Amino acid sequence: MSELSQNGLWVLERFVEHERLVRAVDYRGYEFDDLRGSPLVRALSFENLLLKRVFIQVGERVPWNIRPLLGVQKLPSSKGAGFFARGYLDAYRATGDGRWLDRATALLDWLLEHAAHEYSGPAWGNAFEFASRAGAIPKGMPTVVWTSHIGEAFALAHSVTGESRYREVVVGIGEFVLRDLSHREDEHGVCIAYTPLSGVELIHNSNLLGAVALLRAWSHDSDDRKLEVAERAFSWSLHHMNTDGSWYYGVGPRYAWIDNFHTAYVIDCLIEGRKLTQGRIASLDALERSIAFWQAHFFEPDGTPRYYHDELYPLDSQCVAQAIETFARLSAFRRESLGRSFDLLQWSVANFRRSDGFYFYRKGRFFTNRLIAIHWAQATMFAAMGALLYYASREL
């Protein structure tokens, strides 16, 4: 095992504790947005988008787990598997412990087996129907967000093992983004669609995640068309970045909010885009302004992560996990960020960890939803711990 600091050893202990729990449930569970997995809920929705959204909100807000009563099943999660695999790979990079690599490999094999293969490259979606203000996404319909996040795990696996089959997946995902997703073009660049069947929703994190997936593929196959679309996608979103460094979720009145974890997604994409192109994509100034706004507006003086830039509640496990991971990544060029990441993990253990060791979904001003969400809280926290463990190991 590689040498770790005292803080690193503490993170490893938390990682091992959490790993035992998620492996014991075979990486299966509920999600906050899975109520459409209930036959009764589907019948009562009458294929009405407003009713579908209402039921999703009920599942998100009710403080009791009503899913067993409604016939919602615990399911494996493709997006969760991607995060779990990445956590394992980072733990392997930090410790050299072969069991973590073995478990990452098993999850990546599972992902390949359960990918949607009817497209130009592998892609992944939810195991249940989802509905939001942007519309309904059918069960199994691939999304650019989850496909790009999963692609990150395969890219990391290739860098760790050198196996060509992982490289082929990364290139295939680029083909999916390039050929199967619509691209809306204007004088500012390109915005990439969320799913193969949807129109182009003007959303920044999904656009940039798609662009990063293209860049990962381009770094392997040198396909200039992928680089061109990625550059134009970055150009489009950067044009719409607010002058103070903040990011609305998207362009237009229905997307006019600023939240913590989607801002962190954007920061991660700016970092990755610059890394993959040696600084050619996204100016350092844009990255620095985004980081400065995120750090200044999304955390209370005691470190508590806000959900919105101007409002504390709800306290959300995704905001916690993504902040741990993004601060860990920032430590590659801002050493003090590693301490912020470690402090946030300590805060999450004290404030978001259930008595059984799992992490709960969300805490509101008056009620707490203690749902064990397999992706939203368990997988994202697992990946965050793995990232922190890896970057902590680089300090020595």
pLDDT at 1: 47
Give CA–CA dist 283/70, Å, rounded.
50
pLDDT at 115: 96
pLDDT at 247: 98
pLDDT at 56: 79
Residue type (1 letter), 68: P
The span from the first CA to the last CA of the chain, in angstroms, equals 13
Longest dimension (CA), the chain: 58
Give the count of alpha carbons within 13 A of 199, CB side only. Answer: 4
CA angle 388, 392, 393 (to 5 degrees): 120
pLDDT at 137: 79
pLDDT at 48: 77
Low-confidence residues in the chain, pLDDT < 50? 1
pLDDT 10s digits, 2-45: 567 888 899 999 999 999 999 999 999 999 888 888 888 888 88
Model pTM? Answer: 0.94
Tokens 């959490």 belong to 18
* Burial class for 95, CB neighbours closer than 10 Å (0-12, 13-18, 19+): buried
Q: Other CB atoms closer than 10 Å to residue 1's CB: what's the count?
A: 9
The H-assigned helical ranges of the chain are 6-24, 39-45, 49-61, 67-70, 78-95, 98-113, 144-161, 164-180, 204-221, 224-240, 260-276, 284-297, 317-330, 337-351, 380-393
pLDDT at 60: 79
* Burial class for 286, CB neighbours closer than 10 Å (0-12, 13-18, 19+): middle
Tokens 């729990």 belong to 21
